[in-house]
Amino acid sequence: MIEKLSFVGLKVIECFKDAGLDQVYIDDKIEEFSTLNNYASLHKALRILDDKNMHRLAQKLGVHIEDLESTLLVLNQI
């Protein structure tokens, strides 16, 4: 199922693994993210990630945390 993940979805799952979350939780998130494209994955991730995982995601995507925070504000408005 992990092969169905978008680029962003893969990075989110990497964040969960790096955080040491349990495999059952990770498997559940893989299933959730497997149907989403990059944009939907990013929006979902920005809504559910805690601060530490948000920083991890920013690093994995090569952007600043402020960029992700601004993106969430915009996506929540449209």
- Domain spans in the chain, listed from the N-terminal domain onward: 2-77
- pTM for the structure as a whole: 0.90
**From the CB of residue 16, how many other CB atoms can be counted at a distance below 10 Å?**
19
Q: pLDDT digit string (tens) for 27-50?
A: 999 999 999 999 999 999 999 999
Confidence of residue 78 (pLDDT cuts 50, 70, 90): confident
Short-list 14, 19, 18, CA closest to 30: 14
What tokens appear for 19 in the block? 């955080």
Lowest mean pLDDT among 8-12, 59-63, 70-74: 70-74
- Report CA Rg, the chain: 12
